[in-house]
Amino acid sequence: MHRVTKAVVWTLAVIGALAIIGVVLMPVFSLSRQKAYRMAESPTPPSEPGMAYEAEYEYAGEEMADAARSAALPSVLITEAAAATVDRQIIYNASLSLETRNTGKVRRQIEALAGKTGGYVSDSESWVDEAGRQQINFTVRVPVKQFSNVMSQIRALGKVKHESIDTQDVTEEFLDLDARLRTLRQAEERLLAMLKRSGKLADLLAIERELAGRREEIERAEGRLRYLRDRVGFSTITVSLYEEGTAAVGPSGPYDVVYHLRTAHRVLISILQGLLTALIYLVIDGVVVWLPLLVLIWLIVRRRRRHQT
């Protein structure tokens, strides 16, 4: 009995030791087998054409995934030395408020100035405030080389009330977009080359989906690049023109007959507008309220007269 027990113990010990050795060596054998499988699969062309196409598509799919990840990054890492080797791409925005006697005339002068320098005027808006002053807001786009010249000439057309100039350096974004476009176009070319080859329908549909995604990203990047080029090439100046005030007291300085005539004209127009508004309300109220009331009074008076007779 003792011998049987001792044999069972030794048998269990040997089995346990072999199990431990197997657990330790199993990952090593597994990695070696996977590596050998990949090495055998990569250099040796498969026997079937479809298998060759699938292997190539899987490899290109990995490259597409890498390209997509790089394109999806918020920005490409660009060194300061690389940015310094290109021309700086700077957006100039300015805001200018002027007080003038004739806003319409000044606006026409600014529009002519913009056209003469190769620019244009857009987004115009005008109104009259509660104080009777005419105001005009509009946007002037001029070539960046003419920005300082146009600003100086606009300042001379009136009394400057407010002025601000803002600059934005978008050089790194330009380089980032350029790098992304190169990557996306290379990926698109590889997909187009794969699309020309024969293969399974499912693979062709997958390639077409990849192409559609790359084309959408390319168009988005190209649109952003066009927008930045327009903003860099043409500076934006927002101009606000304010007409001189129309207070009852005259302006300081020498007596200005034109100023008082213009003020009297506007006061007269305001009075006539008020009278016309009151008449409109009176007519509407008369039809709705006063006319029925007058009819009722007339009927009551008529009935009393009949009773008296």
Do 165 and 34 have their domain in common? no
259 assigned to some structural domain? no
Do 102 and 207 have their domain in common? yes
34 assigned to some structural domain? yes
| 105 in Cβ contact with 248 (< 8 Å) | no
281 assigned to some structural domain? no
273 assigned to some structural domain? no
Tokens, residue 168: 């934005």
| 129 in Cβ contact with 135 (< 8 Å) | yes
Does this model's pTM top 0.85? My answer is no
Do 127 and 167 have their domain in common? yes
Do 36 and 137 have their domain in common? no
Structural domain of 215: 50-243
Whole-number pLDDT of residue 258:
66
Q: Say what percent of the chain tops pLDDT 90.
A: 34
Q: Which long-range contacts (CB under 8 A, 24 or more apart) does 125-131 make?
A: 131/245, 131/246, 131/247
Q: Are strands 234-243 and 134-143 parallel, antiparallel or unpaired?
A: antiparallel
How do residues 211-237 score in pLDDT, each as one tens digit?
A: 899 999 999 999 999 999 999 999 999
Tokens, residue 236: 């934006």
Q: Per this entry, what is the length of the chain? A: 309
Q: Per the structure, how many domains does the chain have?
A: 2
Do 19 and 146 have their domain in common? no
Do 14 and 140 have their domain in common? no
pLDDT in tens, the chain (309 residues): 444 455 544 555 555 555 555 544 454 444 444 444 344 334 333 334 343 344 444 444 554 455 444 444 444 444 455 555 568 899 999 999 999 989 999 999 999 999 999 999 988 888 887 767 789 999 999 999 999 999 999 999 999 999 999 999 999 998 999 999 999 999 888 888 888 876 777 778 888 888 899 999 999 999 999 999 999 999 999 999 988 764 434 444 556 676 677 777 777 887 888 888 888 877 777 666 667 777 788 888 888 877 777
Strand order in the sheet with 120-128: 120-128, 134-143, 234-243, 90-100, 159-169
How do residues 64-76 score in pLDDT, each as one tens digit?
A: 455 444 444 444 4
Do 216 and 76 have their domain in common? yes
Q: Within 13 Å and on the Cβ side, how many CA atoms surround 106?
A: 25
Whole-number pLDDT of residue 33:
44
Q: Which of 191, 211, 243 is the last residue of a domain?
A: 243
Do 106 and 239 have their domain in common? yes
Whole-number pLDDT of residue 286:
67
The Cα–Cα gap between 3 and 20 comes to 26
Do 163 and 235 have their domain in common? yes
Do 223 and 96 have their domain in common? yes
Do 175 and 33 have their domain in common? no
Q: Which of 227, 243, 259 is the last residue of a domain?
A: 243
Do 36 and 65 have their domain in common? no
Q: 221 exposed, middle or buried (CB, 10 Å; 0-12, 13-18, 19+)?
A: buried
Q: In 223-249, which positions are buried (b, 16+ CB within 10 angstroms) versus exposed (e)?
A: eebeebeebbebbbbebbbbbbebeee
